[in-house]
Amino acid sequence: MRQQGIRRAIRHVITYYAARGVMYLLGTVPLHLTRRVSRWLGALAFGVARRERTIAIAQLCTYTVIGSRRHIAQKLVRGVFDHLALSIVELCLLMRDPNSQLRVSIPPESKNALEEALAKQRGVIFVTGHIGNWELMAIALARAGYPIHTVARKSYDDRFTQLLSRQRSRFGVHPVYRESEGSTAKLLRVLKQGGILGMLIDQDTRVSSVFVPFFGADAHTPSGAAAFAVRTDTPVVVGTIKRTRHGFHRLNILPVSLPNDVTLATAVLTRELERRIRTQMSQWVWFHQRWKTKRLAGTEAKEAFY
């Protein structure tokens, strides 16, 4: 056991410093080569990440109109890896030069939706998912002067957690780690102070969750955002970012009225995210096992405040 622990620690150190090296190298890529480099990285990931590729293709064939046309699913999954690689390159370039220009547009209707919610002076719950370059969306909002806090999960390695915290804080994005002591009180304080609380609800993770429809099937979905909204009467918006063309992104933020029930409210939020995903299929993380948890007959997921 002790030897296994030592090997694991050595592996984590190697992984961390290798990741730091790759981030540094990607941060030096000339702008005119970012597309070419990201396509190469996407192709490499598509070839190497066999498990993730298999999961993505299977889920597309099972839960979308693609059905048995695996060649279409495979082509779309290749696009998923290309998009994710390009998003990583964009972020590495930004970390290398924090003052570089962001080519992210926030349309007037999106600004109005967010500012009207903030004007109620009860804070705002900003519901989103792993759609488009979601990290870039938070940075763009922070640069625009909005008080952004995000609910985050700690990495398996504290070094990665600290690295991500430093980078996010550099851009004015303040993470609140749900594993930290007093995290619920911190989140409530953000809302009380009129801040924006970003919460991602599109993955099957080990948090309080309920089953709601997603692409036509029950999906175990985090209910924390809905619980906060219902029980604190906090305004809610759904916001996502979409890559429109090479290097350019557009935010889409809309207010959402929720029923006074956590499960039904989670279903409303999930339906809106699904609608966004359907318009940018290659910009969502299809390799995440979204339908991993199955509903047990005769049981319902517990509602929890957080």
pLDDT digits (tens, 9 = 90+) for 251-293: 999 999 999 999 999 999 999 999 999 999 999 999 999 999 9
pLDDT at 302: 45
Same domain, 70 and 147: no
Residue 10 backbone phi and psi in degrees, to 5:
-65, -40
More confident residue, 188 or 245: 188
Q: Are 213 and 271 in contact (CB under 8 A)?
A: yes
Same domain, 120 and 258: yes
Asked, for residue 293, whether it belongs to a domain, the answer is no
Same domain, 170 and 257: yes
Asked, for residue 300, whether it belongs to a domain, the answer is no
Same domain, 86 and 125: no
Same domain, 77 and 120: no
More confident residue, 17 or 77: 77
Residue 49 backbone phi and psi in degrees, to 5:
-80, 70
User: In whole angstroms, what is the distance from residue 248 CA to residue 68 CA?
Assistant: 33
More confident residue, 283 or 180: 283
More confident residue, 306 or 24: 24
Does residue 300 register a pLDDT over 60?
no
Q: Are 161 and 177 in contact (CB under 8 A)?
A: yes
Question: Which of the four pLDDT bands, split at 50, 70 and 90, describes residue 160?
Answer: confident
Find tokens 């806090």 and name the residue. 149
Q: Find residue 152's DSSP bridge partners.
A: 177
pLDDT digits (tens, 9 = 90+) for 73-113: 999 999 999 999 999 999 999 999 988 888 999 999 999 99
Boundary of a domain, candidates 44, 73, 96: 96
Same domain, 84 and 113: no
User: In whole angstroms, what is the distance from residue 172 CA to residue 131 CA?
Assistant: 21
Asked, for residue 143, whether it belongs to a domain, the answer is yes
- SS3 label, residue 170: helix
Find the domain containing 24 and state its range.
Answer: 2-96
pLDDT digits (tens, 9 = 90+) for 203-253: 999 899 999 999 999 999 999 999 999 999 999 999 999 999 878 999 999
Joined tokens for residue 212 = 């709601």
Indicate the number of domains in the chain: 2
Boundary of a domain, candidates 43, 69, 96: 96
Asked, for residue 248, whether it belongs to a domain, the answer is yes
Asked, for residue 290, whether it belongs to a domain, the answer is no
| pTM check: above 0.85 | yes
pLDDT digits (tens, 9 = 90+) for 100-149: 888 999 999 999 999 999 999 999 999 999 999 999 999 999 999 999 99
Same domain, 165 and 199: yes
pLDDT at 1: 62
Residue 122: DSSP 8-state: S
Does residue 71 register a pLDDT over 70?
yes
Same domain, 58 and 196: no
Same domain, 19 and 38: yes
